[in-house]
Amino acid sequence: MNDLFLRACRREPVERPPVWMMRQAGRYLPQYRAVRERADFLTMVGTPELAVEVTLQPVDLIGVDAAIIFSDILVIPQAMGMSLSVEEGIGPRFHHPLRSPADLERLRDVVPEEGLGYVLEALRLARRELAGRVPLIGFAGAPWTLMSYMVEGSGSKSFARAKRFLVEEPRRAHELLGRLARGVGEFLAAQVGAGAQAVQLFDSWAGALGPRDFREFALPYLAEAARLARGAGAPVIAFAPGAGWALEEIADATGADVIGVDWQTDAGVARRRLAGRAVALQGNLDPCWLYAPPAAIRERTREMLEAFGGRGHIANLGHGILPDVPVANARAFVEAVREWRPA
């Protein structure tokens, strides 16, 4: 078995850093697009066999050292009773976003084996299909990010509605964030029970909050979800892009085994800032550098690897791979990591 990823999560010695990419099972792969022609996005997420098919594609085609289950962070609000659609070129949309106390009261609590059983079944199938070739990662969205979508109804540039909710209804906001933290943490623990060998928490909109609000409305609930997930015994990765200023606080509050580093944060600086903590780091090549010629991708990748230093590092992008990146360029990134050795 290729266990480089799991050893790196535990900060054990590795001959080279493992490598995988966020959104690695996605539209940049022709094989993914072929499946997508047969089924819409949510059908793919909700059909374990289709989810497993695309989960395995980057392992076979790109040579990554870990598979991440094909799913979406918004399955939790959907399981709570919110009507979700994902439209090509537009993105996810909740048809009845949270606008009133009655909307909040209608939300169901998350019961993973019931409302999210299809994700757990996909994990079981994927673990069986991988047959030990590489480890399998599960994931979920963090509470603040999920609440943002639930209140806004879709993605946003300003997050004005979500932040207005924090300002005008702080008590209700904290209640909802607490419910989400429990649901997310229990879902991640259930994913480990279904076969995930590590789990990642994505606080994708952490950067929408200033430091004081991040510490009040995001970090405690990210930490609670991570605490519940850690109880399942698998490594936990915490990734809060846009909050690189808070790496130490995120590491301390969550107790995560791995801290994701975004592309806006200098790799060497992140390494020095977290040097005294027993955490591995993951990241952080700017995804836009995958548009460069392969030779330039390899050079940038080597510079990143040297800055992180080799041990306790999982090579990744600083955000998800973009859908129009050439497959050869994604492969150049992965191959550059696989060829590199620490000095």
Q: Which residues are catalytic?
A: 23, 27, 36, 72, 149
What single-letter DSSP state applies at residue 208?
G
Q: Give dist(CA 165, CA 277) in Å, integer.
A: 35
Rg (CA), the chain: 19
Q: Cα 306 to the chain's mean position, in Å?
A: 24
Q: Give dist(CA 222, CA 200) in Å, integer.
A: 11
The answer for residues whose C-beta is within 8 angstroms of residue 223's C-beta and 6 or more apart is 253, 254, 255
Q: Give the helix/strand (H/E) hosting 8.
A: helix 4-9
Rounded alpha-carbon distances, angstroms, from residue 224 to 88, 163, 179, 229, 269? 34, 21, 11, 9, 27
Q: Give dist(CA 250, CA 244) in Å, integer.
A: 9
Residue (of 108, 105, 109, 89) closest to 155 by Cα position: 89
> Across-strand partners of 66?
none
Report the alpha-carbon angle 155-22-342, nearest 5. Answer: 145
Residue 2: asked if its preceding bond is cis (omega within 30°), the reply is no
Contact 272, 261 (CB under 8 A): no
